[in-house]
Amino acid sequence: MAGAPDPYHQGNIRMTLEDQELWKSFHEIGTEMIITKPGRRMFPHCKINISGLVPYAKYILLVDMVPEDGFRYKWNKDKWELAGKAEPQPPYRTYLHPDSPAPGSHWMKQPVSFLKLKLTNNALDQHGHIILHSMHRYHPRFHIVQADDLYSVRWSVFQTFTFPETSFTAVTAYQNTKITKLKIDNNPFAKGFRDEGTNSKSRGRSDTEHLAKKLNPTACALHHTGHLVFKSGEVKEERFSPWGGVSDRESSHVLGQDSPVGSEARDVYSSEQLVPGHSSYQPYRYPFHEYGKLQSPSSSSAGSGTGSRVPDIATVPEHEGKAAAHEPGPTHCPPNLASTPQDYPGVLNMAVGQAKPAVLSHHPLYAPYGPEQALGQWGGASSAQYPPAPPTHHHHHHHHLATDYSTQAVHHGYHHGNVSDWSQYPLFSYSCW
DNA sequence: TCAACTCCCACCTTTGAATGGG
DNA sequence: ACCCATTCAAAGGTGGGAGTTG
Beta carbon of A393 within 7 Å of strand C?
A: no
CA/C1' separation A99–C6 (Å)? 30
User: CATH code for A14-193?
Assistant: 2.60.40.820
Specify the nucleotide whose C1' lies closest to residue A134 (CA). B4
Q: What is the pLDDT of residue A12?
A: 86
- Cα A143 to Cα A94, A160, A331, A386: the distances in Å are 10, 4, 19, 23
Q: What is the pLDDT of residue A272?
A: 30
8 A C-beta contact, residue A270 and residue A286: no
| A 160-189 residues, CB < 7 A, strand C | 173-174, 180, 183-184, 187-189
Q: What are phi and psi of A69, to 5 degrees?
A: -165, -175
The SS3 assignment for A373 reads: helix
Helix (H) or strand (E) holding A378: helix A371-378
CA/C1' separation A218–C15 (Å)? 19
Which residue minimizes Cα–C1' distance to C11? A319
Pairing outcome for strands A94-96 and A350-355: parallel
pLDDT by residue (tens digit) across A154-204?
777 889 999 999 999 999 999 999 999 999 999 999 999 998 653 433 443
Sequence-separated (6 or more) residues with CB below 8 Å from residue A53: A13, A59, A104, A105, A107, A108, A144
CA/C1' separation A185–B14 (Å)? 18
Q: What is the pLDDT of residue A197?
A: 52
Which residue minimizes Cα–C1' distance to B9? A203
Q: Tell me the torsion sign for CA atoms A314, A317, A320, A325.
A: negative
Classify residue A302 as exposed, middle or buried by CB count within 10 Å of its CB (0-12, 13-18, 19+): exposed
CA/C1' separation A77–B2 (Å)? 14
| A 17-46 residues, CB < 7 A, strand C | 34, 40-41, 43
8 A C-beta contact, residue A317 and residue A357: yes
* Nucleotides on chain C within 7 angstroms of protein Cβ: 12-18
Question: Which of these, A111, A143, A105, A116, lies nearest to A18 by C-alpha position?
Answer: A111
| A177-186 and A20-29 helices, crossing angle to 10° | 160
CA/C1' separation A197–C15 (Å)? 19
Classify residue A18 as exposed, middle or buried by CB count within 10 Å of its CB (0-12, 13-18, 19+): middle
CA/C1' separation A20–C6 (Å)? 35
* Nucleotides on chain B within 7 angstroms of protein Cβ: 3-7, 10-16
Domain ranges of chain A: 14-193
CA/C1' separation A115–C5 (Å)? 27
Helix (H) or strand (E) holding A370: none
Q: What is the pLDDT of residue A155?
A: 73
User: Which residue numbers in chain A have pLDDT < 70?
Assistant: 1-11, 196-433
Beta carbon of A193 within 7 Å of strand C?
A: yes
Pairing outcome for strands A130-131 and A118-120: parallel
Q: Tell me the torsion sign for CA atoms A75, A80, A83, A87.
A: positive
**Rounded-to-integer distance, Cα A361 and Cα A126, Å:** 10
8 A C-beta contact, residue A305 and residue A358: yes
CA/C1' separation A230–B2 (Å)? 43
pTM for the model stands at 0.60
CA/C1' separation A114–B22 (Å)? 38
8 A C-beta contact, residue A105 and residue A118: no
**Cβ-based contacts with strand B at under 7 Å:** A 36-37, 74-75, 83, 121-122, 134-135, 171-173, 175, 188-189, 191-192, 201, 203, 319, 322
CA/C1' separation A193–C9 (Å)? 24
The SS3 assignment for A108 reads: helix
CA/C1' separation A272–B17 (Å)? 47
